[in-house]
Amino acid sequence: MQLVSEDIIYVGVDDKQIDLFEGMYNVPRGVTYNSYVIKDKKTAVVDTVDAAFEKEWLKNVEKALGGAQPDYLIVQHMEPDHSACIAAFVKKYPQVTVVGNKSTFVMLEEFFGKDVADNRMVVNDGGELSLGKHELKFVFAPMVHWPEVMFTYDKTLSLLFSADAFGKFGASDDDGGWTDEARRYYIGIVGKYGAQVKGVLSKLSAYPLTTVAPLHGPVLSGDALASAVQSYVKWSGYEPETDGTLIAYTSVYGHTKKAALLLAEELESKGEQVKVVDLARDDWAECVAQAFRYSKLVIATTTYNAEIFPAAREFIDRLVERNYQNHTVAFVENGTWAPVCAKQMRARFEKCKNLTFAQTEVKIRAALNAESEAQIKALAAELNSLGK
Ligand code: FEO
């Protein structure tokens, strides 16, 4: 059994069979659903797991309890990747008290019906629960990323059970590090709610933190925790992490790709850090995360059905719905007979706050020529002159 501390036992599971997380995110290295048992005078289980792992999880919990009966099931988040096994748990341990807030129990009944869980403890923000040695405090974290979410702070260990916050994609054997898959997870799933994440980070600043135990990914402490908190401060403030340019293109016959690569070459020759992605082929959530990461974004695409080429249009919508802001944006438009996509792209970004649009417009008619190549060089010079 994996220990988080001498009396906190990890009882989560790895999901390596999943095709799409939340029905939309590719997770080629799987994902974990974390759950924890706190053994004390009173015993608490923190969250459950996805329905596909009910048996495995119940077995893990039984083993961790070592014959004891659980006193509390703390429900930090009602999204089914964590809550799906509540009814089965209550059926197995009918004396258990389910701990949640008012909104938790509304959702609990929506998912499982009115009769689930006779024994309930409704807690308020800042409410406390003593297990004996472990003194727990509940810190509400609405919209991180559902309205009922609450964190559980173990005052005895300065340990925070952080629900989805600080989580990442990747099963427990994923050796790709924390940042990239945590960024893709955060921007994709919680990106829209930066203000709420900032709010809860500010609430947490009053609490000493030595360990964070999220509902996905590894338990964090030491330098890894400090670095994760720094990332969350940046991400929740929509601050770019990297001074450089993301060039996101679509290309039907290769001409727009050629323009994107020429722009990348020009920028690199000026010492700019550049990343190029193909919006039709590369993972969409990674493209979106990289757009938040880099300080400047260039979208190079074509007109299609008198609209923006679909993969580029979806990409912009995904940025806008996640409150994309504080970045510089430029467009490279390609069209053979009636190009309209540059105008439409700009219009689609109108709801975004604090975007700076490049002055230089690049217009390609079908294929690059001397005029459009000169525009690309001018755009590279302008982007380079903007710095971060
Ligand atoms: Fe991991 Fe919002 O559920």
- 355-357 and 327-334 strand pairing: parallel
Render pLDDT for 134-151 as a digit per residue (tens, 0 to 9): 999 999 999 998 999 999
Q: Which residue, judged by its Cα, is nearest atom 1 of ligand 1?
A: 164
Strand partners, 135: 130
DSSP state of 148: T
Kindly report the three-state secondary structure assignment for every residue of 178-210.
CHHHHHHHHHHHHHHHHHHHHHHHHHHCCCCCC
| Ligand 1 site, CB within 6 A | 77, 79, 81-82, 145, 164, 215-216
From the alpha carbon of 22, which atom of ligand 1 is closest? 3
pLDDT band at 291 (very low <50, low <70, confident <90, very high): very high
**Closest approach atom of ligand 1 to CA 163:** 1
- Which residue has tokens 């490279």? 332
Q: Contact 76/46 with Cβ under 8 angstroms?
A: yes
* Proportion of the chain above pLDDT 90, given as a percent: 99
pLDDT score at 329: 98
Q: Where in the sequence of the chain do the CATH 3.60.15.10 domains occur?
A: 2-236
Q: What is the pLDDT of residues 176-212, one digit of tens each?
A: 999 999 999 999 999 999 999 999 999 999 999 999 9
If you take atom 3 of ligand 1, which residue's CA is the nearest one? Answer: 79
Q: What is the mean pLDDT of residues 362-385?
A: 97
What mean pLDDT value characterizes the chain? Answer: 97
Q: How far apart are CA 385 and CA 388, in angstroms?
A: 9
CA angle 49, 51, 53 (to 5 degrees): 65
Long-range contacts of 181-186 (CB under 8 A, 24+ apart): 181/29, 181/217, 182/217, 182/228, 182/231, 183/231, 183/235, 183/289, 183/292, 183/293, 184/25, 184/283, 184/285, 184/286, 184/289, 185/25, 185/216, 185/217, 186/231, 186/232, 186/235
Contacts with 264 (C-beta within 8 Å, 6 or more apart), sequence order: 247, 274, 276
What would you report as the CA-atom Rg of the chain, rounded to the nearest whole angstrom?
24
Q: Under CATH, what is the fold of the domain 2-236? A: Metallo-beta-lactamase; Chain A (3.60.15)
Residues of the chain with CATH 3.40.50.360: 242-383
Distance between Cα 81 and ligand 1 center (Å)? 6
- Residues 84-92 have a mean pLDDT of 98
**Is the pLDDT at 388 greater than 70, yes or no?**
no
Is it true that domain 242-383 has CATH number 3.30.70.360? no
Which pTM was predicted? Answer: 0.97
Mean pLDDT of 98-127: 97
Centroid of ligand 1 to alpha carbon of 125 (angstroms): 20
- Tokens encoding 67: 């014959």
| Mean pLDDT for the stretch of residues 40-66 | 98
Between the CA of 163 and the centroid of ligand 1 the distance, in Å, is: 8
Q: How far lies 381's CA from each of 92, 256, 333, 365, 387, in Å? A: 66, 19, 18, 22, 11
Q: Tell me the per-residue pLDDT of 329-354, one tens digit each, with 9 for 90 and over.
A: 999 999 999 999 999 999 999 999 99
Average pLDDT of span 260-267: 98
